C-alpha cells in the first residue's frame, strides 16, 4: 500500500509540475505583444526522498518532481520603429532606471520597456508614472554627475549677444581701386566708395536683432608694408588690399540720434591683403565695441578666413615680417573670372530668445532640445544600468524588476559605456517570446499532464483491487 500511495504522490507532483509549466507558458503567450517583456523558463528537479532495502543493499526511489526556479530570459527582442521621440529601446545590455515619483529613497526599479512621455511638470515618466532616472543639465552646457529624476523644463533659451562674425567671400580680382577710401556719409556715397556690400544680422544682449551693412573697398593694387618672411616663396608678393567697414543706424546705438533715420555710425572692421595667386595673404581684424541701446555693449570680433601668414616682428631687426600660418585656401579669396564679388558664407554666434519646439534623443542617451531660433542644447542624458547576473532580478510587475542578492548591485552610467547598450529613440523593444517554441512546450506539458494522470489512475486501480481483496 505504501508503494501505491507513493506512486500517487509521484504522479501528483508530475501534475503540479505540468500545471506550473503550462502557467509559465501561458504567461509568455499572454505577453506576446507586451513591450519589453522577457519570457520565463521554468526549471524542474527530481525529488529523492525514499530509501528501499533490497537484497543488493539500500536503493533510492524517486518521489517525483518539483520546481526549482522560474528564470527570466533576457535575450533582446526585436526593435520596432514608432516615430515617437520619447519612445526608447536599448540596443544591447542594460536597463532603464525608474523611481516612484517623489520617493528618492525607495528602491530603484529597472525596465526594458521604454514607453516614456513627458508629464505636465516636464518629468520623463513611464506609462504608470514612474520617473526615468538620468543626468540633468546644470544650465551651463554641462551635465550633473548625480543620478536624479529626468526633468526637461519648458523654458525659453536665453539670448546670446553676438561676439564673433565670420565672412567668407570671393572678391572681384578686377575691381577698381578706390584710392579715396570709404565714405559713410550717405547710402549713395557708401555705394560709390565700395566694391562689395552685404548685410549681417547681429544680436544684442537682450536678443534683439540688428541689421548691419558691411562694405568692402579695394584701396590699393600693391602693398609694400610687410616684407617677405621665412617660408615665403618667390612670386608671393602682395598686390591687392581691401578695407572693410560696418555701418549701423545711429538710432540703435547709445548716444546716437534717434530723430534722424539716416544717421549712421561707421566701424572699421579690418584690412585684407591678397597675394598674386588670389589667396588671402594677411588679414588685420579690428574688434568693434558696439554700444547697443538698452543692452550691454558688445565687442564683435570679425574673421575673414585663414590667411597664409600672420604679421610678426622680426626678433633680430624688429622689422615687420610675415610668418607662415595656414593654407589660405579657406575663407575669403580673390579668384576666378568673376565680374562682381560674391558672398560664400556668413556666420555669427549670437541668437535671440528661443522657444522649445521639440526634443530628440540620440544613441548616447543625450536629450537635446531644438528651439525656434535655430539653436539646440543638451538638456540631459538618460542613464542605463547593467547587472552581472540579470537573471537574478526580481520581477516587480509592470515590466519592472528589482535588484536582489543574486543579481548583484546595479552598475549605472551613460549609454554605450562600460558594456552598456545604446539608446534607440523612436523605437520600442518588442517581447522576446517565440510563439512556436511556446506551443511546443505547451504540447509537451499537456502530454506530461496526461501521462501523470495515467500514473495516478493506474495506482488508484491497483489500490481498488487491494481493497477488494481485503474485504
Which pLDDT value is given to residue 169? 87
Kindly indicate the confidence band of residue 400, based on its pLDDT and cuts at 50, 70 and 90.
Answer: very high
Q: How far is CA 109 from the centre of its chain?
A: 23
Residue 121, pLDDT > 80, answer: yes
Distance CA 289, CA 294 (A): 15
Kindly indicate the confidence band of residue 342, based on its pLDDT and cuts at 50, 70 and 90.
Answer: confident
Distance CA 99, CA 129 (A): 9
Nearest to 348 by CA among 402, 269, 253: 269
Give the containing element (helix H, strand E) for 459: helix 435-470
What is the tens place of the pLDDT at every residue in 34-65? 999 999 999 988 876 665 555 565 656 667 88
What's the residue count for the chain?
471
Three cell numbers, residue 152: 526637461
What is the residue extent of each domain of the chain? 2-75+432-470, 79-157+356-429, 164-348
Percentages helix, strand, coil for the chain (3-state, rounded to 5) are 15, 40, 45
Give the range among 26-40, 150-164, 215-229, 352-366 with minimum mean pLDDT. 215-229
Which pLDDT value is given to residue 231? 45
Kindly indicate the confidence band of residue 189, based on its pLDDT and cuts at 50, 70 and 90.
Answer: very high
Which pLDDT value is given to residue 227? 47
Which one is predicted more confidently, 306 or 15? 15
CA dihedral defined by 384, 385, 388, 392, rounded to 10 degrees?
A: -120
* Topology adopted by domain 164-348: Tick-borne Encephalitis virus Glycoprotein; domain 1 (2.60.98)
Amino acid at each position: 500500500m505504501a508503494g501505491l500511495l507513493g506512486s500517487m504522490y509521484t504522479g501528483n507532483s508530475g501534475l503540479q509540475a505540468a500545471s506550473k509549466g503550462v502557467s509559465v507558458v501561458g504567461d509568455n503567450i499572454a505577453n506576446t505583444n507586451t513591450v519589453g517583456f522577457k519570457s520565463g523558463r521554468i526549471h524542474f528537479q527530481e525529488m529523492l526522498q525514499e530509501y528501499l532495502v533490497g537484497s543488493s543493499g539500500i536503493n533510492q526511489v524517486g518521489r517525483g518532481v518539483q520546481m526549482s526556479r522560474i528564470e527570466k530570459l533576457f535575450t533582446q527582442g526585436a526593435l520596432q520603429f514608432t516615430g515617437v521621440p520619447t519612445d526608447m529601446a536599448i540596443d544591447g545590455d542594460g536597463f532603464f532606471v525608474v523611481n516612484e515619483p517623489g520617493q528618492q529613497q525607495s528602491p530603484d526599479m529597472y525596465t526594458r520597456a521604454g514607453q516614456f512621455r513627458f508629464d505636465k511638470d516636464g518629468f520623463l515618466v513611464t506609462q504608470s508614472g514612474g520617473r526615468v532616472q538620468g543626468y540633468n543639465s546644470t544650465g551651463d552646457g554641462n551635465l550633473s554627475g548625480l543620478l536624479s529624476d529626468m526633468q526637461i523644463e519648458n523654458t525659453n533659451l536665453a539670448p546670446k549677444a553676438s561676439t564673433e562674425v565670420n565672412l567668407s567671400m570671393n572678391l572681384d580680382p578686377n575691381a577698381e581701386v578706390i584710392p579715396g577710401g570709404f565714405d559713410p556719409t550717405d547710402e549713395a556715397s557708401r555705394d560709390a566708395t565700395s566694391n562689395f556690400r552685404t548685410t549681417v544680422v547681429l544680436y544684442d544682449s537682450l536678443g534683439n536683432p540688428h541689421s548691419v551693412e558691411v562694405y568692402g573697398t579695394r584701396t590699393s593694387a600693391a602693398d609694400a608694408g610687410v616684407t617677405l618672411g621665412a617660408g615665403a616663396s618667390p612670386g608671393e608678393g602682395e598686390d591687392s588690399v581691401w578695407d572693410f567697414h560696418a555701418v549701423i543706424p545711429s538710432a540703435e546705438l547709445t548716444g546716437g540720434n534717434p530723430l534722424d533715420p539716416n544717421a549712421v555710425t561707421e566701424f572699421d572692421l579690418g584690412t585684407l591683403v591678397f597675394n598674386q595667386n588670389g589667396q588671402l595673404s594677411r588679414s588685420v581684424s579690428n574688434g568693434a565695441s558696439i554700444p547697443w541701446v538698452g543692452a550691454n555693449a558688445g565687442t564683435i570680433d570679425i574673421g575673414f578666413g585663414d590667411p597664409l601668414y600672420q604679421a610678426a616682428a622680426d626678433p633680430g631687426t624688429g622689422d615687420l615680417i610675415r610668418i607662415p600660418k595656414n593654407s589660405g585656401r579657406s575663407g575669403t579669396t580673390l579668384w576666378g573670372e568673376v565680374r562682381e564679388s560674391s558672398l560664400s558664407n556668413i556666420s555669427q554666434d549670437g541668437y535671440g530668445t528661443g522657444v522649445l519646439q521639440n526634443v530628440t534623443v540620440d544613441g548616447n542617451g543625450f536629450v537635446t532640445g531644438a528651439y525656434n531660433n535655430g539653436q539646440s542644447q543638451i538638456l540631459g542624458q538618460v542613464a542605463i544600468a547593467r547587472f552581472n547576473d540579470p537573471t537574478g532580478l526580481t520581477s516587480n510587475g509592470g515590466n519592472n524588476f528589482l535588484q536582489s542578492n543574486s543579481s548583484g548591485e546595479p552598475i549605472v552610467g551613460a549609454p554605450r559605456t562600460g558594456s552598456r547598450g545604446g539608446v534607440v529613440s523612436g523605437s520600442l523593444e518588442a517581447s522576446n517570446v517565440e510563439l512556436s517554441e511556446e506551443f511546443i512546450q505547451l504540447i509537451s506539458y499537456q502530454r506530461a499532464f496526461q501521462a501523470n494522470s495515467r500514473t495516478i489512475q493506474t495506482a488508484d486501480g491497483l489500490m481498488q483491487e487491494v481493497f477488494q481483496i481485503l474485504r
